[in-house]
Amino acid sequence: MQKNSPGKCIVSHRTLAMPVSPIRGLVPHAEAAVRDGKNVLFLNIGQPDIPTPRVFFDAAASFDDPVLAYGGSHGRPELLEAIVGHYRSDLGVPLEARDVLVTAGGSEALQFAVMLLCDPGDEIIVPEPFYANYAGVCASAQVRIVPVTTRAEEGYHLPHDPSARREALEKAISDRSKAILLSHPGNPTGTVYSHDELQCIVDVALERNLFIIADEVYRDFVYDNVPYESFTSFEDAADRVIIIDSISKRYSACGARIGFLISRNRDIMVHAMKYAQSRGCTAILDQVGAAALYSTPPSFLSGVREEYAARRDILCSTLESIPGATFRRPEGAFYISVRLPVGNASEFAVWTVRECDIDGETILVAPLAGFYSTPGLGTDEIRLCYALERDVLVRAGAILKKAVAAWQKMKVPAS
């Protein structure tokens, strides 16, 4: 076996630039806590516990082709037809099958979008905090994230003042800018952007020749009658918008790994096929099950929305009782980002999962620093996922409150 010469790095500089996931990075500490006999409540990862509709499994089980053969790189016709019908009936968007590419989850769709638009050294503008995997995708493509910072006190919205909002976006643009990327509703914030915010993004994108990469995988989960508007509704920007979509959250089917890259820009979709062809096809049985999911009655999603809203309120009630906690009730998705009076949230998260024990249980949270691009931001913030049963969230909230109090007492002992 050939050995590397002394001092030579075994991996590429691109690999070295890849960040460690702030969502999964603390899992080894949780595994150690489990080995110590503690029950860990996982608030760090967006894994719904809602049962996946049975039609998925029934459809996959009924697949009876004698050979599990390759499929087309574009996606199975029945799945393309299902997603096109969904957009036409639910959003009023006149999609055609050629506007949709089936991908291995929303993550692959995002990878394709970034690679489609950007050369190494190009830039993508992203409101921060942002979904942490955006950093990994951009790093692997050697693309620089240029952040537009939002604040917990303002619900992580863009600036309320129209001129300040536009200025914040304009300030981030350079001659290397290629796109504005954002999740809507937001991960990790649960923020649902208003029409005025979306219109500002669209106006800037059109005027400055930028694309909009809109990650809308949580759009079915919006609460309290907050208006939701998809970027697909802006007809004047139809050829500038790339939508990232997925069945993972909508139908609680994260493990199926079925996502979609959607654009009405013909050139974008023609070139996207090059990336799809380079990986062959998406898993056939997952596509079969995914197509069946779109026959799920609307009552499924309305019931899930009601459940998530109730779970959100449970966790918000606890956070409101923690002195010094700063947050705004999230409008969508199933995450809460909160600033806690703990100083270093990463140290607090490790201590909580390893050392805190409330009746044999503890919690794992996601420190928010890894969801920012600007160094030093998010160091006292965490993301909590409330895609857990209500009684679990009651216990998790109680543990969090006690952990914050214990941490403060340990770090600032009484004189």
pLDDT in tens, 166-179: 999 999 999 999 99
Q: Determine the angle formed by the axes of helices 345-355 and 390-411, rounding to 10 degrees.
A: 110
39-78 burial, b if ≥16 CB within 10 A, otherwise e?
ebbbbbebebebebbebbeebbeeeeeeeeeebebbbbee
User: Any idea where the domains of the chain sit in the sequence?
Assistant: 13-51+299-411, 54-293
The second-level CATH assignment, the architecture, of 54-293 is 3-Layer(aba) Sandwich (3.40)
Q: Which long-range contacts (CB under 8 A, 24 or more apart) does 155-164 make?
A: 155/189, 155/191, 155/328, 155/330, 155/331, 156/127, 156/129, 156/186, 156/189, 156/191, 156/328, 156/337, 157/191, 157/193, 157/194, 157/197, 158/127, 158/193, 158/197, 158/200, 162/196, 162/200
Per DSSP, helices labelled H in 62-179 are 77-86, 105-117, 133-140, 162-171
| pLDDT, position 25 | 81
Task: Collect the ranges in the chain with pLDDT lower than 50.
Answer: 1-2, 414-415
| pLDDT, position 331 | 98
Helices and strands counted in the chain (H then E): 13, 12
At 164, phi and psi to the nearest 5? -65, -35
Superfamily of domain 13-51+299-411, CATH level 4: Aspartate Aminotransferase, domain 1 (3.90.1150.10)
At 362, phi and psi to the nearest 5? -150, -175
Is the distance from CB of 268 to CB of 101 less than 8 angstroms? no
List beta partners, residue 100. 262
Distance CA(277)–CA(288), nearest Å, equals 19
Q: Determine the angle formed by the axes of helices 54-61 and 284-293, rounding to 10 degrees.
A: 140
| CB within 8 Å of 231: residues ≥ 6 apart | 184, 198, 202, 212, 214, 216, 237, 241, 243
Tokens encoding 358: 């409330």
| pLDDT, position 24 | 79
At 264, phi and psi to the nearest 5? -95, 10
Place of tokens 């007809």: 235
pLDDT in tens, 93-137: 999 999 999 999 999 999 999 999 999 999 999 999 999 999 999
| pLDDT, position 4 | 56
Tokens encoding 288: 């079969």
Give the closest residue to 158 by CA, choosing from 170, 148, 173. 148
Q: How far is CA 262 from the centre of its chain?
A: 17
Give the closest residue to 213 by CA, choosing from 87, 111, 103. 111
In this prediction the pTM is 0.95
Is the distance from CB of 128 to CB of 150 less than 8 angstroms? yes
User: Where does 118-251 show beta strands of DSSP type E?
Assistant: 123-128, 144-149, 177-183, 211-215, 241-246
| pLDDT, position 415 | 41
Sign of the four-CA dihedral 331, 237, 131, 44: positive
pLDDT in tens, 192-233: 999 999 999 999 999 999 999 999 999 999 999 999 999 999
Q: Determine the angle formed by the axes of helices 298-320 and 390-411, rounding to 10 degrees.
A: 30
